[in-house]
Amino acid sequence: MMPAEYFTYTGRDGDIAPHDVTHVRVHKSVNVIPANAFNGYPNLEELDCDVGVEKVEAWALSQCPSLRRVIMPGVRVVEEHHALYECEALTVVECGKLEIIGYAAFKRCKSLRSINLPSAKVVEALAFIFCYALTEVKFGDQLERIENLAFKGCRSLERITLPLKDGLITRDDIFQGCKNLEHVDPVGGIHETVAALQLEEWRNDMDDEIDSINQILPNAPAGTDSYMGEKAMVIRMWIRSVLRKIIHYKAQHHRLLDEAATTLELASLPKDIVIESVLPFLELPSYTFEVGRVRRRRIDVA
């Protein structure tokens, strides 16, 4: 089988890819794939961006029925308004630096099974709506919020990895129709923090609290077109519960730490030795529990 021939897209005036092109390589001089650049290309199978490409504009890759792979290692923004809308064959998306996933960006990408978004900060409304084959989504600890109906109708979605941030889940309709969503994995240093708590009963209680979502979520209604369901609400309440409890135990841990330091000083152990050689072994790992900001927005789900 002959290797595919790539069309090199430079973005210069008049540089338009042939409408029957199958493979496109975006030149290193390009920073932005402009709106409608490849909209409706019927044979396009792969788009390979140089690391210098930082933005994909509205409708840039929409309705490309043969598009299977999109490699965009430097892209930070996939703009709102259907940037990759209805790419029904899309299965591979490499986007390690992607921060902003715009309105309906991946809407109706019906073959997309999983996606890893370690740098994502904002998932806007309808971002993955009706991605029927999507089973797993992984976010990193940079995620700030997920907006309206972002995963509506993702009926195969089983597992999602999220940071523990209050305000992250902005609406109760985010997981409407996600009937198979049963697992949430927390990202970040929560497990290391729990493992460092001084008392076993605290550690056990926190482990139970963290795992409780996987007991509750399978029984939460997924919702229908006329009912938003309870999946998002359950996840939001669980995040708040875990945060409240770990903050409580961290305070208790530090109280014991202060008492231990006082005891060591009273035992005539020099203060500098207590601070430099003893307390670091008792301190909890650094982990910040953040409070997100909620933004509401009216949308069209058609």
β pairing state of 114-117 and 92-94: unpaired
Contact (Cβ atoms closer than 8 angstroms) between residue 193 and residue 287: yes
262 versus 180: which is more confidently predicted?
180
Residue whose C-alpha is closest to residue 292's, from 175, 165, 181, 207: 165
Residue whose C-alpha is closest to residue 47's, from 96, 4, 2, 103: 4
| Domain residue ranges in the chain | 7-188
Residue type, 229: G
Q: How confident is the model at residue 296 (pLDDT cuts 50, 70, 90)?
A: very low
CA–CA distance, 80 with 34 (Å, rounded to integer) = 12
Supply the pTM of this predicted model: 0.85
Q: How confident is the model at residue 24 (pLDDT cuts 50, 70, 90)?
A: very high
Query: What average pLDDT does range 141-148 have in this prediction?
Result: 96
Please measure the distance between the N-terminal and C-terminal CA atoms of the chain and give it in whole angstroms: 42
Q: How confident is the model at residue 3 (pLDDT cuts 50, 70, 90)?
A: low
* Residue 287 pLDDT exceeds 90: no
pLDDT digits (tens, 9 = 90+) for 149-196: 999 999 999 999 999 999 999 999 999 999 999 999 999 788 888 988
pLDDT digits (tens, 9 = 90+) for 38-87: 999 999 999 999 999 999 999 999 999 999 999 999 999 998 678 999 99
Residue whose structure tokens are 């019927």? 42
194 versus 264: which is more confidently predicted?
194
What percent of the chain has a predicted confidence (pLDDT) above 70?
83
Confidence at residue 260, expressed as pLDDT on a 0 to 100 scale: 63
* Residue 276 pLDDT exceeds 80: no
Q: How far is CA 175 from the centre of its chain?
A: 14
Burial class (CB in 10 A: 0-12, 13-18, 19+), 17: middle
DSSP state at residue 19:
T
137 versus 262: which is more confidently predicted?
137
Query: What average pLDDT does range 266-290 have in this prediction?
Result: 50
CA–CA distance, 100 with 159 (Å, rounded to integer) = 21
Confidence at residue 109, expressed as pLDDT on a 0 to 100 scale: 97
Class of domain 7-188 (CATH, top level): alpha beta
Confidence at residue 225, expressed as pLDDT on a 0 to 100 scale: 86
